Amino acid sequence: MRYESLHNLRIPKIGFGTWTIGGKICADYAQDARSLTALRSALEQGYTHFDTAEAYAAGHAEELLGRVIRASGLRREALFVTSKVSPEHLGYEDIRRSCENSLRRLGMDYIDLYLIHWPRRGMNLAEAFRALNKLVTDGKVRHLGVSNFNLKLLEEAVALSDTTLLTNQVSYSLPDRTCVKNGVLAYCQENDILLTAYSPVKPRFIRGNKPLQALAKRRGVTPQQIALAWLVRQPRVITIPMSFNPQHQAENLAAADMDLTESELIHFEK
Ligand SMILES: NC(=O)c1ccc[n+]([C@@H]2O[C@H](COP(=O)([O-])OP(=O)(O)OC[C@H]3O[C@@H](n4cnc5c(N)ncnc54)[C@H](OP(=O)(O)O)[C@@H]3O)[C@@H](O)[C@H]2O)c1
| Other Cβ atoms closer than 10 A to 259 | 7
**Euclidean distance between CA atoms 163 and 33, whole angstroms:** 39
pLDDT one-digit tens code per residue, 147-164 = 999 999 999 999 999 999
DSSP 48: -
pLDDT one-digit tens code per residue, 179-200 = 999 999 999 999 999 999 999 9
Pairing of strands 141-147, 194-198: unpaired
Residues above pLDDT 90, as percent of the chain: 94
The arithmetic mean of pLDDT across residues 4-14, rounded, is 97
Position 66 pLDDT exceeds 80: yes
- Pocket probe mutation, ligand 1, options 19, 82, 171, 252, max atoms within 8 Å of Cβ: 19
**Euclidean distance between CA atoms 34 and 16, whole angstroms:** 16
- Give the pLDDT score at 270: 76
- Pocket probe mutation, ligand 1, options 153, 242, 245, 247, max atoms within 8 Å of Cβ: 242
List the residue whose alpha carbon is closest to atom 44 of ligand 1: 17
**Euclidean distance between CA atoms 119 and 62, whole angstroms:** 21
Position 267 pLDDT exceeds 90: no
Residue 189 CA from chain centroid, whole number: 17
Q: Are 82 and 95 in contact (CB under 8 A)?
A: no
**Euclidean distance between CA atoms 67 and 101, whole angstroms:** 15
Query: pTM of the predicted model, to two decimals?
Result: 0.98
Residues above pLDDT 70, as percent of the chain: 100
